[in-house]
Each structure stands twice: as structure tokens, then as C-alpha cells.
């Protein structure tokens, strides 16, 4: 099985580093981006299988980045992260194709299980 690619998009360096370590240790190729412009360059060049996307990013917000990701490749799975209880934004993100969301501070084990489930289901579906 080829290594799945996970892109972490968050303006907080500490969160990116933590998630990179977690998902690298799970065997994924990990990429990180502090903003939407870099995130979309990575999506175009490296075609990640899953994106962990923060809702509040200076410049281009998470919803805008999500729209662009889905335009580039509708099959890329996206999980949103938010520090706020913005239910309207979460609903809009779901309508735009986000699979689920985690509210910060999130449980890292819950996120790891969710990502593994999404990416392993993907593999199982392709094999059958």
C-alpha cells in the first residue's frame, strides 16, 4: 500500500508540529502549511489524500480554502478544526464537503482514529 498523504493547514506552528509528528508516526507522508496560498500549492503539487484544515486562518479562511481544495480535487477528504463554536461555519463547511470537525483543544487520539478511519476506508474501497 502506498503511503497516504496528510496535509495540515493551521496558522499555529505548535499545532502543525504536533499533528505532523502524530501522523508521521502513523506512517503517513505529512505536509504542512501556515496559510491558504501554501496549502493550495501543496494540494496542486502533491495531491494529499486528506487535509486537516483550521477554520480561522489569516488571509484566506478555512471555508475559502475548502472551496478551492474541492475545485482542485473533489475526492480529497477534509476534516475541519475550529477553536470556536461557529455552528453556521461548521454547517457551511459540511455543505462544501468537509467530513467532520474537531473543536480545539481536540483529543489527539480521537483525531488520529478519525484520520485512520477515513484513510483506511479509502484503501478498502479501492481494493474491492
Would you state the pLDDT for residue 12?
Answer: 95
Domain count, the chain: 1
Q: Give pTM, 2 decimals.
A: 0.93
Would you state the pLDDT for residue 122?
Answer: 62
Domain assignment present for 126 = no
Residue-level pLDDT, tens digit, the chain, 128 residues: 469 999 999 999 999 999 999 999 999 999 999 999 999 999 999 999 999 999 999 899 999 999 999 999 999 999 999 886 667 888 999 999 999 999 989 999 999 999 999 998 765 555 43
Q: Which domain holds residue 9?
A: 3-118
- Give the residues across from 51 on adjacent strands: 7, 78
Q: Quote the Cα angle for 36-40-41, to 5°.
A: 120
Alpha-carbon gap, residue 21 to 2, rounded angstroms = 19
Domain assignment present for 124 = no
Domain assignment present for 22 = yes
- Domain containing 46 — which CATH number? 3.40.50.2300
Domain assignment present for 27 = yes
Domain assignment present for 47 = yes
Would you state the pLDDT for residue 127?
Answer: 45
Domain assignment present for 61 = yes
> Comparing C-alpha atoms, which of 64, 65, 91, 75 is closest to residue 126?
75
Would you state the pLDDT for residue 57?
Answer: 92
Domain assignment present for 125 = no
Domain assignment present for 127 = no
Amino acid at each position: 500500500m502506498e503511503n497516504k498523504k496528510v496535509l495540515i493547514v493551521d496558522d499555529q506552528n505548535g499545532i502543525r508540529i504536533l499533528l505532523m509528528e502524530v501522523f508521521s508516526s502513523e506512517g503517513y507522508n505529512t505536509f504542512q502549511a501556515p496559510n491558504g496560498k501554501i496549502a493550495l500549492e501543496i494540494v496542486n503539487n502533491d495531491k494529499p489524500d486528506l487535509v486537516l484544515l483550521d477554520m480561522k486562518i489569516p488571509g484566506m479562511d478555512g471555508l475559502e480554502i475548502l472551496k478551492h481544495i474541492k475545485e482542485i480535487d473533489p475526492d480529497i477528504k477534509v476534516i475541519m478544526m475550529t477553536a470556536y463554536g461557529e455552528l453556521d461555519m461548521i454547517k457551511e463547511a459540511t455543505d462544501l464537503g468537509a467530513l467532520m470537525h474537531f473543536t480545539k483543544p481536540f483529543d489527539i487520539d480521537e483525531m488520529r482514529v478519525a484520520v485512520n478511519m477515513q484513510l483506511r476506508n479509502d484503501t478498502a474501497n479501492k481494493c474491492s
